Structure 1
């Protein structure tokens, strides 16, 4: 069966629109996690042809995901601030050659768990605390490496072309959905 080229273009435009919606909903930085979870849910529905249009389903999913997510968002901000301080401190120590890669590895693991947590919330988990545990337990090493590669590529793309920060959450949400626990 041959698919039409417009189907691929529709998926691509849904991915970019989701990235823009996630960026818009993430303006108050604390809401970035529920915005990403809503993006994962909207893209999963879009991929399966359920619940169009994407704009309205995204905002409904965002309102649902934002409940109870403030603590998760604040902990994420605190972890990012601590990572920045730790990198600065490690740079001045004699063991920086060993500690700096260990810190980056720890940050990568935390980023994978955070992205997978948002994907678990998108699957319908109401509690963010249980979603963290489920994400850590269900993520296979292979899927974690794929997701870490997607996160790393997203970081490099935004570093190279900062305007992509407005749409990069869409492809990253698609990667989270693709490596997630859906059957």
Structure 2
């Protein structure tokens, strides 16, 4: 039977693995086009930790990153392009009549796309699917479980607010976000 002290240490170890994973994801994401494979590797690493498959975090992360980077370049390039298109669309919508309705609708659409993108990285990590099949699976899972999608959107929104308030947290916030993606993933 576990004592309270043992449970506390285990929880602290899981928390430190989560933060270390966030740091590794940030390091691997320095070239912006590697952000999606880095996030997928973070999801895979935390999924292993969550299931008690213990191995050195540092080495498994980099092995997972190399595996996720194969075939993920098109998806990884599409993510920054989608962000640029969203910013351009937001500026266009602000100048149009009916901006009070179109603006919030555009933000809801952006949140849905962000959830599908995060879920795609999680699906690539946990199911070992190709990126193309993972996008379809992620969209299907997001539509099938809107509660989980809302939780993941809330986690992503909280991550954005934390980085906005304290920019240094950009180095760590990917770990808890990856854990949220893995925890809200569909049953497999």
> TM-score if structure 1 supplies the norm length?
0.96
Show the counterpart of 1:42. 45
**Partner Cα separation in structure 2 for residue 175 and residue 91 of structure 1:** 32
Structure 1, gaps ≥5 residues long: none
- Matched residue SS, 2:127: coil
Show the counterpart of 1:54. 57
Q: What per-residue deviation string (whole Å, max 9, x for no partner) do you get for residues 70-122 of structure 1?
A: 10011111111000001111111121111110110000000000000000000
**Partner Cα separation in structure 2 for residue 40 and residue 152 of structure 1:** 18
- The equivalent position to 1:163 in structure 2, one of 156, 163, 168, is 168
Residue 125 of structure 1, CA deviation: 2.8
**Partner Cα separation in structure 1 for residue 93 and residue 74 of structure 2:** 28
Q: Which stretches of structure 1, 4 residues or longer, exceed 3 Å deviation after superposition?
A: none
**How large is the Cα RMSD of the aligned pairs?**
1.1
1:136 aligns to 2:121 (yes or no):
no
- The equivalent position to 2:67 in structure 1, one of 64, 68, 76, is 64
- The equivalent position to 1:76 in structure 2, one of 75, 79, 96, is 79
- The equivalent position to 1:96 in structure 2, one of 96, 99, 102, is 99
Q: Would the aligned equivalents of 1:90 and 1:96 in 2 still touch at CA under 8 Å? A: yes
Residue 48 of structure 1, CA deviation: 1.9
**Partner Cα separation in structure 2 for residue 179 and residue 126 of structure 1:** 18
Structure 2, gaps ≥5 residues long: none
Q: What per-residue deviation string (whole Å, max 9, x for no partner) do you get for residues 96-152 of structure 1?
A: 111110110000000000000000000133310100000111231111011111111
**Partner Cα separation in structure 1 for residue 28 and residue 160 of structure 2:** 20
Residue 49 of structure 1, CA deviation: 2.0
**Partner Cα separation in structure 1 for residue 170 and residue 35 of structure 2:** 13
Q: Would the aligned equivalents of 2:47 and 2:126 in 1 still touch at CA under 8 Å? A: no
Residue 175 of structure 1, CA deviation: 0.3
